[in-house]
Structure 1
Amino acid sequence: MFLYDEEMVRRIRERSKEMEAAGEIDDWLLELAYEERLFKLFVPNELNGRMTPLPEAARIFERSAWIDGAFGWLVTIGSGGGFFAATIPDREAKRLFSGREAVLAGSGMPTGRAYPVPGGYRVNGRWQYCSGSTFASFFTANVYIEREGEQEEMRSFAFLPEQVEIIRDWNSFGLRATASHSIAVTDAFVPAEMTFDIVSEPRYDDAIYRYPFRPFAQVSFAAASLGISRHWLDECRSFAERRTEAWREKSPLRLKALLGSLEEQERRWREASEAFYHAVDSAWAEFESARELPEERWKEVGRVSQEAAAVARSGSEAIFPLLGMTALQHDHPLNRTWRDLHTVTQHSLLLPLEE
């Protein structure tokens, strides 16, 4: 796999600056992801997928994000869409997921409205933060269905690219190459069979389709956070090594503080990573066998995911002031990885809040 090829890692990182400036990852990198079926880690084998146990997928997310934050986030989000392959109606799932370049972008926020018409629905809406919008082969979004005299119903809708307008408004300070733009749909007709309920009974027996969505997403996002954090710490270590000789003479106290803080945050990262994967691995093994877990186990998975993200975030903040003006340069790897890390850990699912 190219993710473990040192020369390929170097090549990708050499392009990180330019991809960030362009707001998209390179076509050749997308091609590698298609070839390795990295966007199909949770698509069933029957749909030309690469069905992968969640613990293994989490390590792929971490590795991808360690190489490049934006690329890792796109692999994480793009593959996560395979979670819906088991609840989209069978014929449509085959059409949407079977292609070599099948990958979805979308949003879980219910910011669309629909009303029934013969054969389906008319839909209008706008959804933010649709990562991978510029290369998605289809889109999904949550919509409220309005029926006269009845309570509104929320349902997930699938849209084809020709039905979607991409509004290029992604202007975050990090993960800039993810093309996480808004999408809009105007008076689009969506057949009933292109709608689905993600909590309905899945058609496939793979364990991932019965794994609760919230801890699934928390594990995925925490793994990406750990990957970017590890890259950040690697960049800090390289920076410290390059500065050691000069600072030993001119700024010995600063050098001591940097090396001490770096050692401490590397230790915290290792401990958080070990706790995270221990919980993820053990929960998956038990769930794969029994297809159920007590609620406290799901809460533990969520907790270690949030703690991993918190350690990644706080660790970077502890070191950043010691890096001097170099870390403030927008195009420096220290700056880019710091921004990417703070963007991914901003996700609400990684915060210790219960809505």
Structure 2
Amino acid sequence: MVLTTDVPTREEFARRASELVPVLRKHAAWAEENRRIHEESIEALADAGIFKLRVPVRYGGYECDTRTLVDVASELGRADGSTSWVASVYWIPTWMTCMFPDQVQDEVFSTPDVRICGTLSPTAMAAPVDGGIVVNGKWGFISGALHSHWQVVVAILVGGEGEPMPIIAVVPISELQIVDDWHTSGLKGTGSVSTIAQDVFVPAERWLPLPVVLQGQSTSPANADRPIYRAPLLPVASASSVGTTIGLAKGAMETFLERLPERKITYTGYSSQAEAPLTHLQVADAAMKIDEAEFHAHRLAALVDGKGAEGASWTLEERARARADMGAVCKLAKEAVDVLNTASGGGSIYSHVPIQRIARDIQAVNLHALMHPNTNAELYGRVLCGLEPNTLYI
């Protein structure tokens, strides 16, 4: 066990992420074509410490706050949405693992630069057996599974005493079957394949009731007083996810401006697109939407980090607003990309022009069940109207 006392600053991590942009961009087209992150990109992320951002200090990690995650993912997303998405996804199950007993963490975090994928969908069944449970089922959309060491799975435990109960477990990825079914229009490089458990035994210490993790009720004495592990899961997951969308929007702006000096507006009198008032309005509109998206992302991160530092309890409205902020970031970032994509002209549909990949990636993010702007806005409005939430995922 290693104790890390010299944790880099948020600015240092953002700088490291920015320095990864060239190598991630170099492999972005390869990742999309091969439907997985390039090994060199994985190695670069590991060398920069990206996989350790949510790992406890006692295991050589950094226990970074969520504002750091937003800024790092934003830099990664400028280069490649799929790579940034996978890095962000790893941060969330890593945090979830920190809710488990210390002996489980000792096992999981014994692997250097451990990568943990996962899901919150209870699409499997579990049954009690001596010493633990046996799990059978299938999970989809498992981003980063192809490069993972462990997977956090969710199942419905049936049998024994009491009613059926959703549970969460930590399972070595080597004990699961991987189904190569990731053939999609967006976020192709994430390798978000399906995984299957067939009579997988999970020791008793490696599963918990799902509500324990959703509420951020750590069973780890070592993590009990650590600020980043004192929050409900959904606000944590929300703040961990949004940086990628901001990065995609910023990447769209960068690629648009790079192409702008050489472009005209065909079939008009404008020999330079940069001189057209329409272009000025479009660029300003997209820039303001990116600024607004950053506001919601930073407000969300400040809420999560502030509550954790204070050890304060969360109100229902705050938890609903966390999801609403996430949805707002996704919506605004997509709107910015849509504006820039529309302004990019017919030549932008060639596969070597990044804007077409960015547009498909941001669309895919906005369709994610937990990130969908409409779903999150409805939940927030429901709570503001004095109604109980109609979901456990808050």
Question: Which residue is equivalent to 1:214?
Answer: 234
Where does residue 32 of structure 2 map in the other structure?
Answer: 20
Q: 2:351 aligned with 1:333, yes or no? A: no
Change (3 A) 1:126 1:291: same
Closer/same/farther in 2, CA of residues 248 and 79 from structure 1, 3 Å limit: farther
Aligned to 2:254: 234
One-letter amino acid of the structure 2 residue matched with residue 222 of structure 1: V
Q: Are residue 146 (structure 1) and residue 166 (structure 2) matched? A: no
TM-score by length of 2: 0.82
Seen in structure 2, the aligned counterparts of structure 1 residues 39 and 248 have a Cα distance that, compared at 3 Å, is farther
1:69 maps to which of 76, 81, 105 = 81
Which residue number corresponds to residue 320 of structure 1?
341
Give yes or no for contact 1:101–1:137 (8 Å, CA) kept in 2: no
Return closer, same or farther for 1:44/1:155 CA change in 2, 3 Å cut-off: same
Residues paired across the two proteins, number: 355
The structural deviation recorded for 1:260 is 1.9
Question: Secondary structure in 1 aligned to 2:145?
Answer: coil
Q: Percent same amino acid at aligned positions?
A: 20
Give the structure with the larger helix fraction. 1
2:125 aligned to which of 113, 122, 130: 113
**Partner residue, 2:50:** 38
1:180 matches 2:192: yes
Distance 2:307 2:347 in 1: 47
TM-superposed deviation, 1:73 = 0.6
TM-score (norm 1): 0.91
Superposed, 1:78-227 pairs within 5 Å as: 78-147=90-159, 150-197=162-209, 198=213, 199=215, 200-203=217-220, 204=223, 205-227=225-247
Q: Alpha carbon RMSD of aligned pairs, Å?
A: 2.5
Q: Decide whether the 8 Å contact of 1:202 with 1:210 is kept in 2.
A: no
**How far did residue 333 of structure 1 move?**
0.5
- Give the deviation of 1:60 after TM superposition: 1.1
What is the CA-CA distance between 1:250 and the residue it aligns to?
A: 4.6
Matched residue SS, 1:343 = helix
1:57-102 CA distance string (max 9 Å, x none): 2211211112211111111011222212332222121111232131
Find 1:288's aligned residue among 275, 293, 309. 309
Give the unaligned 5+ runs of structure 1.
Answer: none
Of 282, 286, 295, 1:261 maps to 282
Shift of 1:272: 2.9
> Partners of 1:66 and 1:252 in 2: how far apart?
23
CA distance in 2, matches of 1:310, 1:160: 35
1:78-133 Cα offsets, whole Å, 9 max, x none, are 12222123322221211112321311112110011111111122211000011111
- Three-state SS of the structure 2 residue aligned to 1:323 is coil
